[in-house]
Structure 1
Amino acid sequence: MLAGRHAGPIQECYMSLINDRLDFSTVADVFLMHGSMQSPAFQDGRLAGALALHDLTAEAWLDELCATFGIEQPRDQESAEVLLGWRRQALDALSAAELNYEPLLPDDLFSLAERAQGLQEWTLGFLELVQAVDTETRNAWTANLREALDDLQALATIEVDLDDSSENENDLFALTEHARMAAMLLYTEQHPGQPQVEEADAPKQ
């Protein structure tokens, strides 16, 4: 069972989760360490969608990533801390009153084309979860949320071969902001009156 496979690492890492904000490169290094060439951006999109829609547990998150890596559990405690800290960072930001959630995307150290590719991959991961939602749940969403999610479809096909220019930089910023707001709006509507989720990382027995 999942709890049996991950309970030990989760309990240990829960007490020492990373306090500093994790960036894209740190998580990408963990992916490479586990032999995965997949961009963390795609998984971060799935993470945001899953936290909003299903209250994704720490155990389930590690299980999904380990399945992606083709392994039973993270190779070491440091890797587990990064992966768990990644989830906690996203959950804390999505549930915070400050509305300071940020998708985990390539930063300014990467080219504009690489950053656009990251945004596209994040969007594909996020929409993969959203598109699986049943009709009854969708119908309960506000018009603003449905419109925001519909607009994300365009992000899935954005031009990623961008030249580094101030115009393209501004356009990419605006598109990233749209993705960010869509994720927060989805979380907020799925968690009415619940701005904080305090016990989400506690292992289930």
Structure 2
Amino acid sequence: MSPIDDRPDFSTLADLFLSHGSMQSPAFLDGRLCAELALHDLGAEAWLEEVCQGLGVEQPRDRESAEALLAWRRQTLEALADSGLNYEPLLPDDLFSLAERARGLQEWTLGFLEVIEAAGDGPRQGWSQALREAIDDLEALGAMETDLEESAENENDLFALTEHARMAAMLLYTEQHPGQPQVENGEPTRH
């Protein structure tokens, strides 16, 4: 099993958040984590501090919790840097309603965009047109309607939007870390 397969799932981290007295969705912090790893090479200590602040606690309640939170960061970084381009945003899975999954994607997007906006225009200067467009598209995703009815069409739409967010995240990481991962031709394909 690869380290990417070991990445904690949404429910596991949501339960960990609850054990710290927080109802916050892990999706928001995962969006922040992804953008911070791409833009700032976020260290383990800084990540632990940020998660604790998000949970409203001074420190993880026990060693296992701290290890799980640090593993989340490490495995996200490994997934972003992996040449298989297997990174997946941490979102509610099929056990959740379509509306809950859409809300999770929206929260992930808002966390991701918060870090990008805080970074200012400096990093954007070197971005490809494809990345700038992908980030602009995410801004619309952050404002999307999340009260979706269960339907095959809405399911397909949500899948496509999630895939767009995933590709934007990987594109941001690869442009900020040239040569990591080693991608076949370097130029993303446009759909």
Using structure 1 for the length normalisation, give the TM-score.
0.84
The answer to whether the 8 A contact 2:24-2:55 is kept is no
Mind listing any 5+ residue stretches in structure 2 that lack a counterpart? 183-191
1:103 maps to 2:89: yes
- How many residues align? The count is 180
Relative to structure 1, the CA distance from residue 179 to residue 18 in structure 2 (aligned partners, 3 Å threshold; closer, same or farther) is closer
State the superposition RMSD in angstroms.
Answer: 1.6
Which structure 2 residues correspond to residues 78-117 of structure 1 after superposition, within 5 A?
78-117=64-103
Residue of structure 2 in register with 1:166 after alignment: 152
Residue of structure 2 in register with 1:203 after alignment: none
Residue of structure 1 in register with 2:7 after alignment: 21
Relative to structure 1, the CA distance from residue 18 to residue 96 in structure 2 (aligned partners, 3 Å threshold; closer, same or farther) is closer
The answer to whether the 8 A contact 2:4-2:76 is kept is no
Residue of structure 1 in register with 2:141 after alignment: 155
- Structure 1 letter corresponding to 2:12: T
**Partner Cα separation in structure 1 for residue 74 and residue 181 of structure 2:** 15
How much has 1:135 moved relative to structure 2?
2.2
Q: 1:37 aligns with which of 20, 23, 30?
A: 23
The answer to whether the 8 A contact 2:4-2:78 is kept is no
Percent of counterpart pairs with the same letter? 73
The answer to whether the 8 A contact 1:28-1:39 is kept is yes
Once the two structures are superposed, residues 73-124 of structure 1 have per-residue CA deviations (whole angstroms, 9 ceiling, x without a partner) of: 2111211121111111110110000000000000000000000000000000
Residue of structure 2 in register with 1:177 after alignment: 163
Once the two structures are superposed, residues 42-93 of structure 1 have per-residue CA deviations (whole angstroms, 9 ceiling, x without a partner) of: 0000000000000011111101111122322211121112111111111011
Residue of structure 2 in register with 1:139 after alignment: 125
**Partner Cα separation in structure 1 for residue 150 and residue 69 of structure 2:** 31
Match of 1:103, SS state, is coil
How much has 1:153 moved relative to structure 2?
0.7
Q: 1:46 aligns with which of 32, 37, 40?
A: 32
**Partner Cα separation in structure 2 for residue 155 and residue 19 of structure 1:** 27
Using structure 2 for the length normalisation, give the TM-score.
0.90
- Structure 1 letter corresponding to 2:21: G
- Structure 1 letter corresponding to 2:15: D
1:187 maps to 2:186: no
1:65 maps to 2:59: no
How much has 1:18 moved relative to structure 2?
10
- Structure 1 letter corresponding to 2:77: L
Relative to structure 1, the CA distance from residue 157 to residue 140 in structure 2 (aligned partners, 3 Å threshold; closer, same or farther) is same
Mind listing any 5+ residue stretches in structure 1 that lack a counterpart? 1-16, 197-205
**Partner Cα separation in structure 2 for residue 134 and residue 170 of structure 1:** 33
**Partner Cα separation in structure 2 for residue 151 and residue 62 of structure 1:** 30
**Partner Cα separation in structure 2 for residue 20 and residue 134 of structure 1:** 33
The answer to whether the 8 A contact 1:18-1:82 is kept is no
